[in-house]
Amino acid sequence: MKNSFFVFLLAGHLISFAQNLPANYDESKLPPYTLPNPLLSPQGKTVTTVKEWEQQQRPYILKLFTEQVYGKIPGKPSGLHFKITESGSALNGKAVRKQVTIYFSEGADAPHMNLLLYLPRGRKQIPVFVGLNFNGNHTVNEDAAIIPSRYFKKKDEQISDSEAIKSSRGTSASRWPIDEIINRGYGVATAHYYDLEPDHKDGWKEGVRTSMKENLHIASNEWSAIGAWSWGLSRIQDYLETDKDVDATQSVLIGHSRLGKTALWAGANDRRFKIVISNNSGEGGAALSRRIFGETIRNLNTSFPHWFIERYKSYNDHPEKLPVDQHMLLSLMAPRPLYVASAEEDKWADPKGEFLSAKNAGPVYALYHLKGITSETMPSVNQPTGEMIRYHIRTGKHDVTLYDWQQYLNFTDHHQRNH
Ligand code: GCU
């Protein structure tokens, strides 16, 4: 009795010890690893043509990510409809603002998300950057006409909701350089990710994984929070396809950090997104899981048990047993232009693991005769490299900055001219 109690205690101690292991930031302590080959079929044959890739290998890899990592993503719900709630002139007349309620089923009481869209005035067929935001639509710009998102953080419980909204207006503006985007001739569409599912372990009860269960014929544990957020990105694209001012065949998907993981999963599933951008998406996003540097699968699943499906937890200490690694997720973007960006001080996200992942998606792009990253070593800071797959490591910390956006705008200009 005494002994088994001791063993129990010891086991508990070991588990918490493993969970709290300090992250590895030492290249010399990396356990060796071998990456799975994205072109190797389950029959052991190497895929050599676009046809084999498109018809067999790509669906096979997508299924592996669905079953082992992120869960399913349901399709368009029946009764999906849109309502322009507000529109007006914005940014000193340079832009048009539209706020659109995207209802996920029939009726005015249906679960919904609120989309905020800015388009350069006087242009037609506008390509739009699409991305979810962290803190609410009203934080992306100081524009007082932005309808506040339903969930907002209060720094101080004593202040009223309206005070809290007022003081948070524009607080994420540095991550959304709307002026610059508009000046460059693009639109930008964003929604608060909490509209789809609040980001905590019980958030699914309040989000689309519960409210849309019957309509979508899917149990809440068959998908994940990242799945729910990704699904929302596709619903934004559904709206853009109906907006006559927009060229929805040119949509650029963008996401930072956990929302970068989300953008990659959405881009893998929804090929209507023409360009995909991952900003500092890290572990479970662009970074290789087999490289034990910074965050690990165990860290992810311990702090954020709702982001992925249950099955992913079985790889907590065994990334080598996963039939995929994240370069294979990136390869699912082919042949579309893909941008992966890191930040020098964002060691937790493993910049080198993001670079190697982007580089190792290259053989799939090569099937389409497209060039990925040719450089063998990581580029210096602020020196973007690569053609259809482009990579940079920016100076500074985990964030989305004007520098990042300028590179994404240049990349988008380049690929739109070429296509
Ligand atoms: C945490 C988490 C990362 C995530 C990041 C973010 O740091 O560990 O995986 O990318 O939050 O979303 O900001």
pLDDT bin (cut points 50, 70, 90) of residue 154 is confident
Residue 315 amino acid letter: Y
Mutate to test the pocket of ligand 1, among 194, 257, 300, 398 (most ligand atoms within 8 A of CB): 257
Q: What is the CATH number of the domain that holds 205?
A: 3.40.50.1820
Active-site entry in 257, 281, 331, 357: 257
| pLDDT, tens digit, 9 for 90 and up, residues 67-78 | 999 999 999 999
Task: Specify the pTM.
Answer: 0.95
The closest residue, in CA terms, to atom 7 on ligand 1 is 348
Would you say residue 100 lies in a domain?
no
Would you say residue 94 lies in a domain?
no
Mutate to test the pocket of ligand 1, among 70, 261, 281, 348 (most ligand atoms within 8 A of CB): 348
Cα distance between residue 172 and residue 254, in whole Å: 16
Would you say residue 13 lies in a domain?
yes
Ligand 1 centroid, distance to 397 Cα (angstroms): 13
| Catalytic residue status for 257 | yes
Task: Using DSSP bridges, classify how beta strands 389-394 and 338-343 pair: parallel, antiparallel or unpaired.
Answer: parallel
Residue 273: which of 256, 255, 257, 250 has the closest Cα?
250
Residue 87 amino acid letter: S
- DSSP letter for 26, please: -
Tell me: pLDDT of 12 over 90.
Answer: no
Task: Using DSSP bridges, classify how beta strands 81-90 and 95-103 pair: parallel, antiparallel or unpaired.
Answer: antiparallel
| Catalytic residue status for 256 | no
Ligand 1 centroid, distance to 304 Cα (angstroms): 9
| pLDDT, tens digit, 9 for 90 and up, residues 372-408 | 999 999 999 999 999 999 999 999 999 999 999 999 9
Would you say residue 173 lies in a domain?
yes
Would you say residue 93 lies in a domain?
no
| pLDDT, tens digit, 9 for 90 and up, residues 174-223 | 999 999 999 999 999 999 999 999 999 999 999 999 999 999 999 999 99
Active-site entry in 41, 81, 220, 398: 398
Would you say residue 11 lies in a domain?
yes
315 SS3 class: helix
The closest residue, in CA terms, to atom 13 on ligand 1 is 257
Would you say residue 190 lies in a domain?
yes
Domain count, the chain: 1
Query: What is the DSSP track for 27-75?
Result: GGGPPP--PPPTTB-TTSPBP-SHHHIIIIIHHHHHHHHIIIIIB----
Cα distance between residue 334 and residue 264, in whole Å: 12
Helix and strand element counts for the chain (H, E): 14, 9
Tell me: pLDDT of 49 over 70.
Answer: yes
Would you say residue 66 lies in a domain?
yes
Residue 240 and residue 253 in contact, taking contact as beta carbons nearer than 8 Å: no
Question: Which residues does ligand 1 sit against, CB inside 6 Å?
Answer: 257-258, 282-283, 295, 300, 303, 348
Ligand 1 centroid, distance to 23 Cα (angstroms): 14
Cα distance between residue 158 and residue 238, in whole Å: 40
Domain with 357 in it? 2-74+122-417
